[in-house]
Structure 1
Amino acid sequence: MTSFQPAAVLWDMDGTIVDTEPYWMRAETLLVQSYGGTWNHDEALSLVGQGLWHSARILQAKGVTLSEDEIIQTLTASVMEQIRIAVPWRPGALELLTEIRDAGLKSALVTMSLRSLAELVVSLIEFPAFDAIVSGDDVTHSKPHPEPYLRGAELLGVDIRDCVAFEDSLPGLASAVASGAVSIGVPHMVAIDESTEHTIWPTLAGRTLSHLSDVFVAARTTTRNP
């Protein structure tokens, strides 16, 4: 029998919990420009949801002569500096996180940002929001590979099929779907098409644990009764 609630919720960070994509784009633009190159909005959008090492190689191709690790550290430091000035919470994210925690469900943060950035964001939430963190420096394969979400479920001690994952990007949603989690796309910077493989919520604002449970039960009922 399918449970009426998931065992855990797996959360992407950038673009889902915090609106940091403009911070990343600003950091990328300044870095490329410092090496005499140009970086436009479409190029920045192409990196949304991608792993940091992949992004670093793209920036190297644009003329940045730093190593991959140096590029990642430079970008991360810039984003962290901007977050310390203003935390751009996404609408409804903290409210849903709070309700999920109050209900006793487990949560994990699954981000391709470095752990230092993930821990900074978590430290700025006024309650213990997460039981585990999976960061970009914790995995061998970044999103869209399923490893990050599978690792999140493993750390929580739950079956990935008993989890719901929230994502705002195409690579992230592909990772969540491939892992076997019930996946909800919350589009932000990049459009996400409708699909039978995932559910689309235009926003987290006004969404509750009841809405989340409805998606989970519907997905698992469909899976069990094709």
Structure 2
Amino acid sequence: MTDSADPAFRLPAAVLWDMDGTLLDSEPIWEIAMSELAALHGIAMTPHLRESTLGNSLPDALAKVHDAAGLSPEVRDPAADGRWTLDRVTELFQEGLPWRPGALEALELIACAGIPMALVTNTVREAADVALETIGRHRFATTVCGDEVAVGKPAPDPYMRAAELLGLPTAECLAVEDSPTGAQAATAAGCLTLVVESAAPVEPGPLRVFRRSLVGLGLDDVTEAWTGGLARTATCQNEES
């Protein structure tokens, strides 16, 4: 147990949540759509290709499928493929979106603690709005989607934009991520990141703490992840210097 009166232990000023694979078990849905798109281009969705697209923005995921299919630049049609993929994903989202284990309870925990939250996703607004019908848009002070920033994850732009909208420095925000792409974005933005891996392993590194699952998450766990992660990062930085 942490002592909430001890200034060495405190909570983040805000929590920034990834969506696919973190709050919702929607990565299998994306896999269906991307596999069908790959088949349209005459290739199979291999495990390596699928893992390389996890957490990607839609343009980046399409480019990887196009590369794998050996499509030359002049025959690629990212606009048409993007529209097809988005329509398919939205259709599948509307059939039902399951929660990741412990995610709903974790959201309610942070909300009850009075900590503002943001949703930060590479999913485009059109599909994210469908998912928010399951998650509950009222839970978030703001939401940032992949088509609302100049560059999506793994660039830091989505997390930097979310912190800006909340009026907070990224260093005061805890990001919660599941994928290498998302963790890279959060780290690059300067957010301490709680990594709860789902479909792909994430490399350890500065500003990253790991938890097996969101099941059973308590405020003490959040406090310890926050303060412990910052302390470990400071120690690593001192050792490097």
- Following superposition, the deviation at residue 76 of structure 1 comes to 2.1
Match of 2:56 among 50, 56, 59: 50
Size of the alignment, in residue pairs? 226
Q: What residue is the counterpart of 2:174 in the other structure? A: 164
Residue ranges of structure 1 left out of the alignment (5+ in a row): none
Q: Which residue of 2 aligns with 1:30?
A: 36
Residues 35 and 171 of structure 1, relative CA distance in 2, 3 Å threshold: closer
Correspondence list, 1:48-197, <5 A: 48-61=54-67, 62=69, 67-126=77-136, 128-197=138-207
CA 1:66–1:223 in 2, change beyond 3 Å: closer, same or farther? closer
Decide whether the 8 Å contact of 2:58 with 2:82 is kept in 1.
yes
What do residues 155-187 of structure 1 show as CA deviations (whole Å, max 9, x unaligned)? 111111111001111111011111111111111
Q: How far is 1:222 from its partner?
A: 4.4
Amino acid in the other structure paired with 1:161: A
SS of equivalent residue, structure 1 residue 46: helix
Tell me how large the CA RMSD over aligned residues is.
Answer: 2.0
Task: Determine the C-alpha separation between the residues in 1 that align with 2:64 and 2:30.
Answer: 14
- Closer/same/farther in 2, CA of residues 58 and 127 from structure 1, 3 Å limit: closer
Aligned residue for 2:53, secondary structure, equals coil
Contact 1:187 1:202 in 2 (8 A): yes
Tell me the TM-score normalised to structure 1 length.
0.91
Following superposition, the deviation at residue 95 of structure 1 comes to: 0.5
| Greater C-alpha radius of gyration | 2
- Whole-angstrom CA distance in 2 between matches of 1:101 and 1:87: 21
What is the TM-score with the length of structure 2 in the denominator?
0.86
Q: Is it true that 1:218 corresponds to 2:224 in the alignment?
A: no
Shift of 1:38: 2.5
Deviation at 1:152?
0.8
Identity of aligned residues (%): 32
